[in-house]
Structure 1
Amino acid sequence: MNGLLVGRSAELAGLLRALSSAADGVAGVALVGGDAGIGKTRLAAELAAEARTRGFNVLVGQCAELGDALPYLPLADALRGAEPAVREAAAAHPMLGQLLPGTESAPSAGLTQQRLFGSLLGLLADVQPVLFVIEDLHWADRSTRDLLVFLSRMLQSERVCVVGTYRTDDLHRRHPLRPVLAELKRLPTVTSVELGPLGAGEMADYVATLGEIDAQSLGLVVSRADGNPFYAEELHAAMAEGDSLPDELASLLLSRVEVLSEAGQQVLRAAAVAGRRVEDDLLREVSGLPLAEFEEAVREIVSRGLLKVRGHGYAFRHALLQEAVYTDLLPGERTRLHAAFARLLTSPAELAHHHLASHDLAGAFAASIEAGRAAERVGAPAEAHSHYDRALSLWERVDDAARLAGTSRAELAFRSAVMAADSGDKHRAVAQLRVLPQTSEVSERLAYYLYETDDEAAAAEVAERAVESADEPAALSRAMATHARTLLWGPRHQEVEELATKALELARTAGARDAEVGALLTLATSVELRGDMHRAHELVEKAMAGPTGDLAMDLRARFHHARIHYEQGVLEHAAEVADDGIRLASDAGLMWSTYGTDLRFLRFLIHYVAGEWDAAETMAAGFGARVGTVPEAILSSFALFVEVARGLPVVESRLSWLRPFWSDPLASYMSRGLAAEHALWHGDPATALDHVRAVLAAQVPGDSGNVRMAAIGLWALAELGTTEGADELRAQARLAVESGPTGAGGHLGPEGRAWALRVEAEWHRVHGRLDVELCRRVTEAFGYGFVYEAARARWRLAEALLAAGERHAAQAEWEQAREAAGKLRAVPLESALLDFGRRARFGSSGGQTSVPQGELTAREAEVLRLVAEGLTNREIAERLFIAQKTVSVHVSNILGKLGVSTRTQAAATARRLGLLP
C-alpha cells in the first residue's frame, strides 16, 4: 500500500458507517465508483484493514476481463484467498465447493443458482461479521451481477457488509452493469460512493508521501496527474528513474515496461495475455524461459512494482498497465501467446477464451460446449447459454462439429434455450425453440415457456402439437401433463381432468415420476376447483408418495399438500407439511426458489391464522421491506397481515416500497387489500374504498379473493355512511361463491365461506341493519381456528346484540373479543373495542342509558336530526357547510352519548328519548 490515504476521509467515513451498521446487525452494501486509477482499490484496502481490526472476516474477490466466460469468478477468488476458518466453514456448503478448481459434480435437477445463493447466505451467517469486497464490477459476469443484486436485497439483519468497486469511465451507455447500479442505488441500504479527482492541495500531499521530490518536479506531477493518484504514482516513479514525462498515459505506462530487460518484457507480455492475474507455473511455461532466468525476470518486474505477488501467482499492480501491455502486442505475438495458454489450461471457459483469441475455432468450439456444461453444474444458466450460443455460432465453421460436440446442433440449441429460460430470459428461449424442428420435447418446453409468458392460447396450441408428435410414453406423458396445465384456467378447463388422467397413466407406465407428479398436482387443482376436496386430498397425497429426483417438483408437491390442508382449516397438518418443505428447501439451498418462497409465506399465513403472531412477525422480518422485483413484492406484502393488524409503524415504509408493483394483480391484491384495512383503522374509509375498487378492477371475475375484498369495501361504505356501490360489491362476492373464475362452479374452503358470510353481514350493516343471527354465523365460521378474524366477528356480533337489546350477551362477546385482541397485541382492533365499550357503557349498571338533551351540544343535536332524516355524512356536511370529517366526529360522539353503535339505532333511541321534534 503506497503512502497514506490522502483526501478520502469523507468517502472512508461513509464506508466505515456501513461497516459499523453491519457490526450492529444491519446488513448493507456500498458501491464505490470512479475512473481508472482514482483510488478505489486503495480505499477498499483501507476499509478491509480496518474491518480486520474490528474482528471481521474479510473476503476479497476480483472480476476479470474475461467477462461472462467464468461465472462467479470473484466469489471463487474470495473463497480461495479466505482465512482457514472461513474455508473450513465453506466446506460445509458443497455448492460453494463447485467454484473451486478440480471440483466437479453431476448436473443437478435445476435451480442450482438458487442453491448456490442459499449456500452463500448460509456461509455468511456462519462466519459473520463479514466484509465481502468485489473488485472491478465493470468486468463482472452475469451471475456475479445476479449475486450482487441478490445479496443487496436479501441481506437484512446479518452482520455482513458487501462492497463493490467499478470504473465509471468504462460504463458505456449499454453496459450491463448500468441498470444494476441504477436499481441498487435506489435501495436505502445501499451506500453510493463516487471518487472524484483529488484537489491540487490533496494531490501535492499525496505525492509527498511517495518519496522525496523537489518543488518543481512536484508541481509537474500534480499538474500532469490531473487529480488521479495512479497517474501521480507512475509520473513520480518515472521522474525518480530519470525518465522524461511522455504525453499519453499509455506511453507513460509502457515507458516503465521498456526499461525492463528483454526477459522481463517477455514475461510481462505473457502475463498480460493471461489477464489481470496469472499463476506462477503457468506463466513460467508460457514465457518459455529457463527457471533461473524466469525467476530473475519476475524478481525484476516485482521490484519495479509492475506485478505484485498474490497467492501462488502474480497480479498486475493496476488494470490499466495490463491493458496497455496487451494492446501493445503484435497480432502474431498475441495469437501465439493465447495458443500457448490454451495448450496448458484446463478450465473450459478459459480455454474457450484463449482458443478463440488464437483463432483455433475447433478448440474454441469444443471448449465452449464444455464450459457451458460446467456453467450448468454450478448454477450459472446465463453463462451456460452464452457458451452454448458461441458454440452454435461456430458450428458451420468447424469440421465434424457433431462429433466434437458429442451432440447434434438441434440438441445443443435446445439446451441453450433451456438455459436462457432458467436465467429468466423466457422470451429468448421461446425465440430459439420456435426455429428448431418441432419434436415433442421441443414443443413441450415451448408450450411451457409460452404459458409462463402469459400467452396461454399459443401455449395450449403448441402443447397440443407436442402431444400429437410424441413417439414414446415418457415424452407423451410430459406433453399431456403440460397440455393439461395450459388449459387449467381457460375456456377448455373441462378437458383438464381427462388429459391429466391420461398423462398420469402414461407416466406410471413409462416410469416418468416427474411427469406423474406434475399430472397429479394439475389434476388435484382441477378437482379442487369443482369442489371435490376428498379426491383432491387423495391426489396430493399420491404426489407426496416419494421423491421425483427433481427438487423443484418435490417442493411443489409439499406446497400443494400444505396449501390444501390450510384452505380446509386443518392448520396443524398444514404446518407440519410446510415445515418439512422448508427444511428440504433449506438443506438443498433452495430457500429463495419459487416453492421455497411459497412454502415460507404459507407457513407465515398458518402462524397468522392460528394466532401465533410473534412467530409470524419473526418470519416477516426475513421477507424484507426493500423490494425490487414482483416476486419479492408479493412475498413482502404478506408481512402486512400482522403489521397492519398490530398497527406497527413499518407499514407505511413497506407500502411505499410496494407501491411501484401495484400493476401486478397479485402484488396489488395482497398489498392494496391490506392498505385498505390500514386506512380503515386510521379513519380514512374513502382511501380504503379506492384501494378496494382498484384491486377488484384488476382481478378476474369470480376469483375467490374477490370475496374478502368485497367485505373490506362494504366495511368502508358503512364507515362512509353510504349504500352507493354496496350491491355491486355483494354481487362480485356472490359470483365468486357461485361460479368461480372458470364459470363452472366455485369452491371455497372454511375461510372463504366465512368471508362470504361476512360480506352478507356487512351488506346489511351498510343498510343500517345489524342481523344477530348472521353475525353469529360469521363468528362461528371463523371459529375453526382463525383467532383474529373470530375476534373481529365478535366485535360486530356484540354491536348487533346490543342493538337488539341483549346487553349481557353483547358484553360477553365484547369481552372475548377484547381478550383475543389483547393476546395478539392487535392494537387497532383493541382500540376499536375499547371505544365501543365506552360508548356502550359496559361495566356500568345494566339497561340502556337515557341521555338528557342537554348532554348533546347544539351542533350535535343538529347533526342528530339530519342523521334521523337518513342523510349521509357528505350530505350533512354540505347542508351545514362543515367538513365531512367534522361530521364524522360529531356522529361518533352522538353514538357514544346515546350508547348505540349504528345511525339507525341512534335515530330510534333519540325518538324514544324525545330528542327529536
Structure 2
Amino acid sequence: MRHDPSHDVRRRRVLIGRAAQLAELTGALDRAAAGAAGTVLVSGDAGVGKTHLVTALAGAARARGCAVLLGQCAELGESVPYLPLADALWTAARADGPEAGAVRAALDARPVLGRLLPDGDGDGGPGPAPELGQQQLFGAVLGLLAELGRERPVLLVLEDLHWADRSTRHLLTFLSRVLQRERVCLVGTYRSDDLHRRHPLRPVVAELLRLPNVSGVELRPFGPGETAEYLAALAGGTAPVTAELVERVHGRSEGNAFYAGELFSAESTGEDLPAGLADLLLSRVERLSDAAQRVVRAAAVAGRRIDDELVRRVSGLDEAAAGEALREVVSHQLLVPNGSGYSFRHALLREAVYADLLPGERSRLHADFARLLAEAPEGRRGSAAELAHHSLAAHDLPAAFAASVRAGREAGRLGAPAEAFEHFDRALELWDRVPDADALAGTDRMQLSLAAVRASAQAGEARRAVSRLRRLLDLADPADVRLGVRIREHLATYLGDIDEDDEAQAVARAAARMLPPEPPTAERAAALATYARTLLYTDPDGEMPEIAERALAEARATGAADAEASLLVTLGIHRESREADASVADLFARARDLALAGDNLPVALRAAFHYARTRFDRGDLAGAARAAEEGVKLTLDNGLGLSAFGTVLRSLRYLIRYTTGDWDEAARLADMFAVQVVRPPEAQVSAYALFVEVARGTDAVEERLRWIRPLWGRDILLAYMAGGLAAEHALWNGDPDTAAGHVDRLVRQMYPYETGIIRIAATGLWAQADIAARARAAGDEDAVRAAAEAGDDLLRRARHAAATTWDGHPRAWLGLEGHAWLARAEAERRRLDGDSDPEPWRRSAELFTYGDPQGGFVYEVARSRWRLAAALAESGDREAAAREWRSAVAIAERLGAAPLLSALRDLGARARLDAGRAAPGPSAAPGPFAALTVREREVLSLVAEGRNNREIAAALFISPKTASVHVSNILAKLNVTSRTQAAAVAHRNGLR
C-alpha cells in the first residue's frame, strides 16, 4: 500500500490561511466563558475547510477546559428530528473525559432528551400534551447547556446545517435567541454553495445574523500563496513542491482545500489525473480491492450512520472478509471511525460514490438496508424514518408507507411536529398506491389526515391546518356526525389562532348543534366547551353563561374531565367581568387540579396563571405570590419554563415582587429578561424589567428602551408596558412633553375598554399637570387650557375603561389596583387645575394599600404620599405633611427608588418638612448673602429664575403675602432697589 503524505498532515491538523477565522471563533468562545453567550455561523463551499476549522476550535476549547459537544447533520436529517443534537449528546455521554459524567447526569435528569438517543425509549414521549413537546425539549436543551456551563464553558458545534431537519433549525433559532448569560458558545457550519434561493436554511441564516449575539464567519478558497503553503505542509519535506505543481493544483482545485489535497495526493503517487473532480474522488475508490469497493458502495447508501454489521451484511461479505475490507478502506482514509461506527472522511466522497451507483444497484442496496432495518427490533430512535427512506428509494411503497406512519408518530412523541407532519403527509401521498392501507397504518385515512393537521398546527402552520380542515369537511361522510364534529372543533380552534374569530364562532356553533342533547356525551361536552370559549369575548346574544353551564353539566355527567377543566377556566374569566364574586379564584383552582389529574398540561397551566392573577387582582399578595411560585414550579417541573405559560407566570411572579416592594428579589428575577431583543415576544418579557429599573433610575433604562422601542408598533402589550414606563422615565427626568407624547400614542392604540388605559391615563395626567404648572409660571394661559383639555380626555378614557366591559356591559369587577389608579388619575386631574386639596391624594394612598396600612402596592403608596404631603403643606397642615413625607421617604430609601427620593428631598427642603435637617445660621453663607436666612436664600434663588410672588409661594408652600415680605427683606439686606437688581446679584455670585 502506497504512503499518502496527506494523511500525516491531517493527523497534525495543520491550519493554513484561517488564523483570522479561528481567532474570531476563539474570541466568541472566550466571551462565552466570561458569561456572554453567542452563536457563530461558519459558511463556505463544500471542501473549503469548515470541519478542519471547527476541529481546531474544538481542540482549543478542550485546551481551555471547555466541555465540547459535536454533532453532525446528514442528508437523511430532514426525516430524523434533532439528529445533530442527538449525535452530540450521544458522543459526549460515551466519551472519556471529565465532561462525560456531567453530560450523562444532565441527560438522566431530563428524560425528554434521553429519548433522542439511539438507545432511548422510542415509544416514550415528552408527555400527554404533544403540543407542548417541542417546548419541553427546547427547555430541556437550554437547561442542560446552562447546567454544564456552570461547571465549565460549553462549545456546542452543529455541523452541516444545510442538511438540518426543520426541528433542528427551530432549535438553532431558539438557542441563538435565548442564550444570553449562559457560558455557552454555539457554532454551526453550512455549505454556502448549497443555499439556493428556496433552501429552508437560507431565511434562518438571514434572521439569525440580525441578532446582536450572532456573527458569521465565511471561509473563502485559498489564494495561490495559501495553496502553496498547504501543499508544502502536505509534503512534509518528503519532496519539493515546485511552482509548477502549485500552479497546476491551485488552478484545478480553485483554492478548495479538500480538492487540493486530493489532487496533490494523486500527483505525489504519479497517477494520471482524471478530468473531473468527481472522477478524481472515484479514482481513489477504484484503487481499492473488489471487497473494499463493495463496502464503500454499501456505506454510501447507508446514510447517516455506517454500522459495520449492517454494511457487512449488505455487501454480502463474511465477517472476516468484511473486517479486512473495512481495514483497507480506513487505511486509505475513505472511511474514518466515528463512535461505534464509521463515517466518510468527507461528505463529498460519499456523494461521489452514491452518484456513481447504477440505478438498479442503488435500489438493490436500499432494499437490502430496508430489509435489515425491518428485521431489527422496533424502538431504536430514528429507525422508522430510516426504514421509510430506504424503502422509498427501493420503490417498496407498502413498506415506505407503513414506516412513514410509524416515523410520524415517533416524531410527534419526540416533540418534532414539523417532521411528524412530513412523514404523515408522505404516507397520505402513498395511500392510494398501497393495498390495505388502513391495515398497514392501523387507522383510516381521515384519522391520519387529522393527525397530519394537528402536527401542522403544532409546528406553527395554523393557516395550512385551516386550509386542510376545510377540504376535509368537504371529503368527510356527512353521515359520520362525530367525525364532522371533531373536524369542526379543530377548525374552530385553529381559526381562533389566526384571529378569524367570526368564522371560528360559526364553526364551533355548528359543531355543538350537530350532536343531540340527549343522552349527554363527552363529544358534545367538548364541542360546547369549544363554542363557549369562542363566545368569551364576542357574545352578542349573551348566551355564553347558559351554554357553559350546560356543557359543564354534560362534562361531569360523562366524565369528560378535559372539557370540564377548560369550561371552568372559561367561566371564571367570564364571571370576573360580570360579577364581583370573590370565589372566582376557586373555579381556576378546581380547573387546575382537574387538569393536572388528567395530565392536561395546557389547561392546567392556563388555569394556574389565572388563579395566581386573580389573587393578585384582589389584593391577596401573599396568596398570589404562593400561587405564582407554584405555577412557575409546575412549568419548570415539566420542562416548560420558556413556554408561553412559563413566561407569563414568571413575569407575574416578578410583578408581585415589584408590588410588594421586594425589589432586590425582583431585580434578581429580572436577570432572565434579556436587554438585546429583536422580536415582540422577547421584548414583552424584557419590558417587565423596566418597572424596577425606571423606579430606581438605573442606567439600564436607556439601553433597554433603545432595543425595545423599534418594536412598539408591532405589539400592543409591549407598547403598553414599555411606552408607559418610558413616559414615567421621561417625567422623572423633567420632560413632561415627551411623556405626554408617549401617552397620547398609547391611548389611541388601545381598546377603550382595556383597564390598562387607567394607569396610562394617570401617567398622562401627571405629565399634563406638570405642563400646566410650567405654563402658569410662564403666564401661558393657552397652554394651561390645552393641558386641561388633554387631561379631561384622559380622565374620560380612564373612567370609561373602569366602568365598561368590551361588549358595553357595566364592569362588575375592576380589581383593587384598577380602583387605586383611577383615584390617582382623579387626583392628578385636580392637581392639573392647581387644586391643592389633600383628600384625592389621601384616597389614592389608601386604595394602594389594598386594605393593609403596612403593605399593598408599596411604591405607589409612597408616590401618593409624596403628592399628599405636598398638598397638606400647601394647605398649611405641616405636621400632617411631615408625617406623610417621612413615611414616603422611608419607603423610597428602602426600595432604592432614587427618582422618588430626590423629589421627596426637594419637597422636604422647600416645605421644611425634614425636622432633622440642621439649618445653618446666617453666617454660613459667604459674601453678599451672609445676612440672608436660609429661607431668604431660597426665595432669592426663585427671584433669580424670574418667579413672581404667587409662584414663589406655591413652590415653597407659603402664602403670597409671606413671599412678598421675604422679597422686601432681601432687597433691604442686599441694598438694592428692584427684583431685577437682586437677581443680578444672585447670578453674579453663583446662587443656585
Q: TM-score, structure 2 length as denominator?
A: 0.86
Gap change, CA 1:629 and 1:476, over 3 Å in 2: farther
2:49 match: 39
**1:815-894 aligned within 5 A:** 815-843=886-914, 851=936, 855=940, 860-861=945-946, 864=948
The 3-state SS of whatever aligns with 1:435 is helix
1:584 is aligned to 634
Within 2, Cα distance between the matches of 1:690 and 1:327? 65
Q: How does 1:147-166 map to 2 (within 5 A)?
A: 147-166=171-190
1:641 aligns with 2:691: yes
Structure 1 letter corresponding to 2:636: S
**1:449 pairs with 472, 490, 494, which one?**
494
**Letter matched to residue 391 of structure 2:** H
Contact 1:581 1:599 in 2 (8 A): yes
Match of 1:505 among 536, 548, 553: 553
User: Considering only CA atoms, is the larger Rg found in Structure 1 or Structure 2?
Assistant: 2
2:731 maps to 1:711? no
- Of 364-373 and 53-62, deviating more is 53-62
Match of 2:414 among 366, 373, 378: 378
After superposing the two structures, state which structure 1 stretch, 73-82 or 290-299, moved more.
290-299
Match of 2:591 in 1: 543
Shift of 1:898: 6.5
Distance in 1 between residues matched to 2:938 and 2:859, nearest whole Å: 39
Q: Partner of 1:875 in structure 2? A: none
* In 1, Cα distance between equivalents of 2:240 and 2:507: 76
Who is 1:464 aligned against? Answer: 509
- What does the per-residue CA deviation read over 1:117-172, in whole Å, with 9 as the maximum and x for residues that have no partner? 12222222332232111001111111111111111122222221111111111111
Residues 1:864 and 1:360: Cα distance change in structure 2 (over 3 Å): farther
Give ranges in structure 2 of 5+ residues lacking alignment: 1-9, 377-382, 477-482, 773-786, 851-855, 920-932, 969-978, 981-992
Q: C-alpha distance in 1, partners of 2:426/2:703?
A: 45
Q: Does 2:299 align with 1:260?
A: no
Alpha-carbon distance change, 58 to 914 in structure 1, aligned in 2, over 3 angstroms: closer
Q: Distance in 2 between matches of 1:647 and 1:857?
A: 27
- Structure 1 position 369, deviation (Å): 0.6
SS at match of 1:372: helix
Pair 1:757 & 2:811 matched: no
* Partner residue in 2 for 1:116: 137
For residues 814-872 of structure 1, give each alpha carbon's deviation from its aligned partner in whole angstroms, at most 9, with x where no partner exists.
222122112111222222222333333433699x98658982577732x649xx7xxxx
Q: Could you say what secondary structure the match of 1:768 adopts?
A: coil
Letter in 1 for 2:909: R
Which among 423, 429, 434 is matched to residue 387 of structure 1? Answer: 423
Matched residue type, 1:455 = E
Q: How do residues 379-528 of structure 1 correspond to structure 2 at under 5 angstroms?
A: 379-436=415-472, 437=476, 439-470=484-515, 473-492=521-540, 494-528=542-576
Write out per-residue CA displacement over residues 269-324 of structure 1, whole angstroms, 9 at most, x where no aligned residue.
Answer: 11111225411111111111222222222222211111111112111111111111
Q: 1:241 to 1:676 in 2, by over 3 A?
A: same
Query: Quick one: distance in 1 between partners of 2:255 and 2:900?
Result: 62
User: Which residue is 1:176 aligned to?
Assistant: 200
Tell me the residue number matched to 2:118. Answer: 101
Residue 799 in structure 1 maps to residue 870 in structure 2: yes
Amino acid at match of 1:525: I
Superposed CA deviations along residues 219-256 of structure 1, whole A, max 9, x for unmatched, are 32233332221121111111122223334322222222
Equivalent position to 1:275, from 283, 300, 303: 303
Shift in Å, 1:47 = 1.1
Distance 1:906 1:673, change over 3 A: farther
| 2:389/2:400 contact within 8 Å kept | yes
Aligned twin of 1:29:
39
Letter of the aligned partner of 2:122 in structure 1?
Answer: E
The residue type equivalent to 2:582 in the other structure is H
* Partner SS, residue 51 of structure 2: helix
Q: 1:529 to 1:906 in 2, by over 3 A?
A: farther
Alpha-carbon distance change, 648 to 89 in structure 1, aligned in 2, over 3 angstroms:
same
Distance in 2, matches of 1:488 and 1:679, equals 38
Whether the 8 Å CA contact 1:702–1:733 is kept in 2: the answer is: no
Counterpart-to-counterpart distance in 2, 1:70 and 1:343: 19
CA deviation map 1:20-55 (0-9, x unaligned): 122222222111111111111111111111111222
**Distance between the aligned counterparts of 1:147 and 1:339, measured in 2?**
33
Q: Is the 8 A contact 2:939 2:966 kept in 1?
A: no
CA gap of 1:800–1:898, structure 2 versus 1, over 3 A, is closer
Question: Which of 649, 665, 680 in structure 2 is aligned with 1:630?
Answer: 680
Deviations 1:870-903 (CA, angstroms, capped at 9, x unpaired):
xxxxxxxxxxxxxxxxxxxxxxxx76x96437xx
SS, match of residue 315 in structure 1: strand
Deviations 1:604-639 (A, max 9, x none): 111110111111111111122233443222222212
1:739 corresponds to which letter in structure 2?
T
Q: Residues 639 and 779 from structure 1, CA distance in 2 versus in 1: closer, same or farther, beyond 3 angstroms? A: same
Counterpart in 2 of 1:57? 67
Residues 626 and 363 (structure 1), Cα distance of their counterparts in 2 relative to 1, 3 Å cut = farther
CA contact (8 A) 1:56 1:131 kept: yes
Counting aligned pairs with the same residue, the percent is 51
Partners of 2:66 and 2:293 in 1: CA distance:
40
Q: In the alignment, does 2:833 pair up with 1:743? A: no
Range with greater deviation from structure 2 (97-106 or 727-736)? 97-106
Aligned to 1:564: 614
* Deviation, structure 1 residue 191: 2.5
Work out the CA distance in 2 between the residues paired with 1:341 and 1:620.
53
Residues 592 and 605 in structure 2, CA contact (< 8 A), matched pair in contact too? no
Amino acid at match of 1:860: E
Aligned with 1:743: secondary structure?
coil
Partner SS state of residue 173, structure 1: coil
> 1:768 and 2:834 equivalent?
yes
Structure 2 counterpart of 1:796, which letter?
R
Computed over aligned residues only, the root mean square deviation of the Cα atoms, in angstroms, reads 2.3
**Residue 235 (structure 1) aligned to one of 263, 266, 270:** 263
Q: 1:908, 1:700 → 2: CA distance?
A: 49
Say whether residues 1:223 and 2:251 are aligned partners: yes
Superposed displacement of residue 88, structure 1: 3.6
The number of residues matched between the two structures is 884
Instruction: Determine the C-alpha separation between the residues in 1 that align with 2:698 and 2:338.
Output: 51
Over 3 Å counting, the alpha-carbon distance change for 1:6 and 1:799 in structure 2 is: same
Query: Residues 730, 241 of structure 1: CA spacing in aligned structure 2 closer, same or farther, 3 A cutoff?
Result: same
Deviation at 1:213, TM superposition (A): 4.2
The residue that corresponds to 1:877 in the other structure is none
Distance change >3 Å, CA 488–CA 13, structure 1 → 2: same
- Once the two structures are superposed, what CA deviation does each residue of 1:61-91 show, in whole Å capped at 9, x if it has no partner? 1111123200000111111111341124312
Q: Matched residue of 1:163: which SS?
A: strand
Shift of 1:909: 7.0
Normalised to the residue count of structure 1, the TM-score between the two structures is 0.93
CA contact (8 A) 1:235 1:252 kept: yes
Whole-Å separation in 1 of the counterparts to 2:287 and 2:578: 84
8 Å CA contact retained: 2:939, 2:967? no
Shift of 1:530: 1.3
Q: CA deviation at 1:914?
A: 7.3
Distance change in 2, residues 1:117/1:856 (3 Å): closer
Give structure 1 stretches of 5+ with no counterpart: 869-893
Secondary structure, aligned partner of 2:217 = strand
Matches of 2:459 and 2:939, distance apart in 1: 74
